[in-house]
Each structure stands twice: as C-alpha cells, then as structure tokens.
Structure 1
Amino acid sequence: MSTSLSETTWQKSLAQAIRDPRELISRLNLPREFLELAQGSVQLFPLMVPISYLNRIEPGNLDDPLLKQILPVDLENAEVPGFEADAVGDLNVRATPGILQKYHGRALLMVSGACAIHCRYCFRRHYPYGDEPRTLAEWEPVWQSLHADSTIQEIILSGGDPLLLTDLRLNDLCERIAAIPHVKRLRIHSRLPVVLPDRIHAGLLEMLQGLTEQGTMPWMVIHANHPHEIAPDVENAIKQMLQAGIPVLNQSVLLKGVNDTGETLIELSEKLVNLGVIPYYLHQLDRVTGASH
C-alpha cells in the first residue's frame, strides 16, 4: 500500500498541533496567569491539541466547553483520595503484553500509545505504554494468543488512538485480525474523526470495507462530548464512514462544566442521531489521578 495524498494531509495536520502552552494561551487570548498554572501540569501530561479543534474554541471564553477538555491547570497535580493512576484496573487484566481482556468473548489490543489530542480527563494518562509490543516480532505472541482462544469474537483496537497508525500498519493489523476465523467484529475506538477529521479518507475506508468482504465487520466508535465538537468537517467524516457501510457509534464522558446538563446531552445526542451515529456510552468520569477537578 502506497502513501496517499490524503494520508500525508492528516499527518501534516498532526505535525502542526499545538504543544506549547504559550502558543495555546496566545491563540485563545487567555489571561497570562494561565501559563504558570499550565507549566507544572504539562511536565506530567503534555499539551496536545490539533489546530482544527482549537479553531472551534471561542477565544477569551474561559467557560468554553471544548477549552475545559484540553487546558492544563495546576489542579491536575493535586493528590486526591480515591483517585489513582490505574483507575479502571487495566493492569489487572493485561493477559499478555498488548492485550487487555476484561470480558468474555472480547479482547482489546493496545496498538498505539499516542493520541492526536490530550484530553485532560484521560483515564490512561499514566498507562505504561512503553511496556507494550512495538515491533512485528513482539506482536507475534499476541496473534498466537488470539488464534488459540476460540471464544474471542470481537477485537477492539485502542490505545492511545489506533487511527494514529499509518494506513500501512493499520492494514497489517486488519489483515492479521481478518485471518482469525472466530473473530467476527472489529471495533476501532478513536477520537480522530472528531479532532482530526482529515484522517478519514478513501484509502482508509477501502481498507475497512475489505474487512467486511473477509467476514469481519468493522465498527467505528468515536468520542464526542459536546455538540460544538461536531463541526462541518466532522460531519463530513462521519458521512463518509456511514456511506462506506461502517456503523458509527459515539461514547461520551460526563464532565463538569462541559456536558453535565440534560440540555447539552440532548443536543449532542440529537446532532449525532441526525447524522446516523448511535449514542453508545455515557461514561461517568474514571477516577484517575489528575482529573479530580
């Protein structure tokens, strides 16, 4: 598979993402004192926000629901009882490096340790991604394990964000998954269709359609928390996936000051449903260290 122009486009967009709190504060016309509040937090969990997402935030509005999701603050450094690094017990269900298995018939693969946006409430902000397999050789035990367990019918690609993998690497993963006879469904959990919609292009969709032809149904599970995130380019990415025959679900996290009113959740759900997206999960915030505020 050759590198397409569309693939180069999203990678360029990713390279231009904002990583410096000073640039974030300048672009959004925020008070200068926020720079000092951000500096300590980004040492532990760096800032990362694509410009396409940044452009949806109202400059100067400290209550903007999208800003609240990405702005580093000093409260992240507070030690709060009941909040811990492994908030959902991932490390207790790590069957083998690369695989998390909490539920019968389903396996989650940690295929990437990177994201296009660093959500400040991330429940895996402390996850030891460096311990996961990287090379093709290191992934061989994963495939052996999946082939050996005939109870597994569904595989979830997660991380990090699986759509940050190149099309070439993603195609390799999909081919290996399609070769497992008992696996019937592949779920891709990704925030990229919302925060970096350029990632959804014809080459990617053709690859996923190929899975269906091989007997493995692909599902895309996106992550949107607020209706303002569903910009026109996001709508277009969603429509492309649906037109390609890929069902799209959405999962949201209930966040203070972002979507914690019935009106906001209704508006988000209606916007998604009108596009053909199924509102799938509304998660209560995972009690991860750094997200107590």
Structure 2
Amino acid sequence: MITAAPSRIQPPPARPAARWQALWREAVRDPRELLALLGLNAETVGLDEAAAAQFALRVPRGFVARMRHGDPADPLLRQVLPVTEEMRVVPGFGLDAVGDAAARTANGVIQKYRGRALLIATGSCAVHCRYCFRRHFPYAEETAAREGWREAVTAIAADASIEEVLLSGGDPLSLATPKLAELTDALAAIPHLKRLRIHSRLPVVLPERVDAELTAWLAALPWPVAFVIHANHANEFDADVDAAMARLRAAGAQLLNQAVLLRGVNDDVDTLAALSERSFAAGVLPYYLHQLDRVAGVAHYEVDDARARALHAELAARLSGYLVPKLVREIQGDTGKRPL
C-alpha cells in the first residue's frame, strides 16, 4: 500500500463551540422530562403529545430553573408546555395571523411598514413559545440567509425608502456571530440605511448568548441599534439576565421590551406592573404590550379587548408614563401597529 503524502497545508482547527451553543444543545426537548424536573405529572397540567408533535418543545435549562417547582400554573411553564387546548380548531385563528406572506418582497424579506424591512434571519429559536405567531411559518423556504443573504440585501439596496432593517426570525441570535457579521457587513454597504433593530428572546431565555464576541460585533456596527427583547413576566429576569442586559447596554444598544398579553400568564395588573418595574430595573424600557396574534393553536391564551383595555388603564393609573408599554395589535394591511 502506498500511503498518501502529508498535505503541506493543514486545515485550520475546528472552531470550539461557544458556551451558549453547548447550552443550546442541552435544552429540554421532552415534555415529560420537563415535568419531571418540576415535580409535575402529565395529567395535572394537561400535557398533549399530539400538540408536542405538531410544534416541538424546546426550552433552555436555565429558563426551566426559573420556574416554580410543583406549580402547574407557573407563568413560565405555561408559555412553553404543549397542552390539549392547542389542538382545538377555533374560528378566526389561522396559519398566517399577521399577513407575512402577503408582505413578502424577496426571499426572507417582509415589508409591511414604510421605511422598514424585516429580515427572517433564521427559523431557529432557543425556546419554542407556544403562542408564537410564526409557529406555522415556512422557514425552510423563507429565510434571508439563503445564498449568502444575496437576494435579501439586493432587495433592500434597491429600495431607497428603507432606512431601518429589523432582524427577526425565528431568533436572529440563533445564528453564530460570524454569520451575523456577514449580514451586517453586506448591509453596511447600503447608504440609505440609518438604523438596525434586533428582536431576540435569547438574552432572556439563554443570557449566555450575550458573550464577548457578540458584544464586540454590536459595538462595531455603523448604525444606532435598538435591541428589542421579549419578556412576558417578571420571573423571567434573574441575575444572569440582568448581566446580559448590562453587556448589551455597554455595547451601545438601546434596550426595549415587548410582551404579549397572555391569559394565565400576565393578565392582571399586578403582574404587568411587576414586569414593567423589573424590566426597567434591568435597564430595559417597556415598549409594546401586544394583543395576541390569532394564529392556530393559541386561542386559549387570548384576552378579550375590553379586558385588555381595562388592564392597560389600570397600569397607566399606577405607573409612571415611561413604564407603561403601548397596548397594540398587528392587523394585516395597517400602516403600523394599531393602538387599542
């Protein structure tokens, strides 16, 4: 046997996985394991295997650690556990609740409002929120990252009215930082862009994602950055989340929180007030309180508009104005989020 001569050029060593990526891989994906960790049983909480098969469970273990042991009504658990109510067919709840398909202008590009374009950066998330309005979105065909972002960046460059790009998903921070840098390097060549907005739940559910590599990327961006996190309950914050928010602020990002009004999670004024106060204590300004997007499988979370308005009025009477998020709904065809 003749052995091959050793190559003169050795391949670079494999890049070691970041800590956040290792934690991502360790996320809980089995609903029964999640319940066992919390000392609960399937019958008590209404676990539904068919709902789990339709929309898989995924939740980081650090987020699980913030749930109350033995409490089937824990507000964090209710956001992630697949239950029988998801399988009900309810009139008015469809697959595309906010008209994403109709607003598509290029592969992975959604443009609903003047001056702004949203990029579906990825279909991946570190946590699968059961009320997700894109739980039926065709991510396999519709992500801006295909072909090195080429089609998406070309479409934005061709429209001089676009001044702000929103990175969404999925969750854009699911992408490794070099992949994010690849996108923003391409966007930086577009002269009419003035702002970047990032929507991400990862700093809350997996705060380790906000590492030195990510903050260095953020600090080097050529635009002002609005970073919109997503927390629905004060219990989602802990010392690790606070530290992640501090790192984002130190990198120059303006932090905002958007929440969704969810029955059984945050539909009382004490809980909403605690959320606003806790997010502000972490350096995050309350921004939006969304009425639920009516996607199939989430009707059991809905709070009716009259109740939502009453809660918002109570919140405004209790808190300083800057702590009161705007109560809004997204309606297909509107020029912006509709205040309620």
TM value normalised by structure 2: 0.81
Does residue 179 of structure 2 align to residue 172 of structure 1? no
- Residue aligned with 1:141, SS: helix
Does residue 228 of structure 2 align to residue 217 of structure 1? no
Q: How does 1:92-171 map to 2 (within 5 A)?
A: 92-133=102-143, 137=147, 139-171=149-181
Task: Give 1:131 shift.
Answer: 1.1
Q: Report sequence identity in percent.
A: 49
Give the aligned partner of residue 234 of structure 1: 241
Q: How far apart, in 1, do the equivalents of 2:234 and 2:271 lie?
A: 7
Whether the 8 Å contact between 1:4 and 1:203 is mirrored in structure 2 is no
The count of residues paired between Structure 1 and Structure 2 equals 288
Of 77, 98, 104, 2:87 maps to 77
Q: Higher RCO, 1 or 2 (CA under 8 Å, sep at least 6)? A: 1
Give the aligned partner of residue 250 of structure 1: 257
Which one has the bigger helix percentage? Answer: 1
Question: Unpaired runs of 5+ in structure 1?
Answer: none
Instruction: Rate the CA distance shift 1:135–1:227 in 2: closer, same or farther, 3 A.
Output: closer
Give the aligned partner of residue 216 of structure 2: 206
- Residue aligned with 2:187, SS: helix
Does residue 64 of structure 2 align to residue 54 of structure 1? yes
- Residue aligned with 1:37, SS: coil
Instruction: Rate the CA distance shift 1:4–1:276 in 2: closer, same or farther, 3 A.
Output: farther
Whether the 8 Å contact between 1:83 and 1:289 is mirrored in structure 2 is yes
Summarize deviations over 1:208-248 as a string: whole Å, max 9, x none: 1111xx3x112211000000001110011001111222111
Q: How far apart, in 1, do the equivalents of 2:264 and 2:46 lie?
A: 22
Whether the 8 Å contact between 2:73 and 2:264 is mirrored in structure 1 is yes
Task: Give 1:137 shift.
Answer: 2.6
Code of the residue aligned with 1:65 in structure 2: it is P
Instruction: Rate the CA distance shift 1:235–1:94 in 2: closer, same or farther, 3 A.
Output: same
Of 8, 15, 18, 1:8 maps to 18
Say what the alpha-carbon RMSD is for the aligned residues.
Answer: 1.7
- Residue aligned with 1:66, SS: helix
Question: Unpaired runs of 5+ in structure 2?
Answer: 1-12, 301-340
Task: Give 1:133 shift.
Answer: 4.3
TM value normalised by structure 1: 0.94
Moved over 2 A (4+): 2-5, 32-38, 133-139
Summarize deviations over 1:128-184 as a string: whole Å, max 9, x none: 001124665363121111111111000000010000001110110111122211111
Q: How far apart, in 2, do the equivalents of 1:59 and 1:4 lie?
A: 38
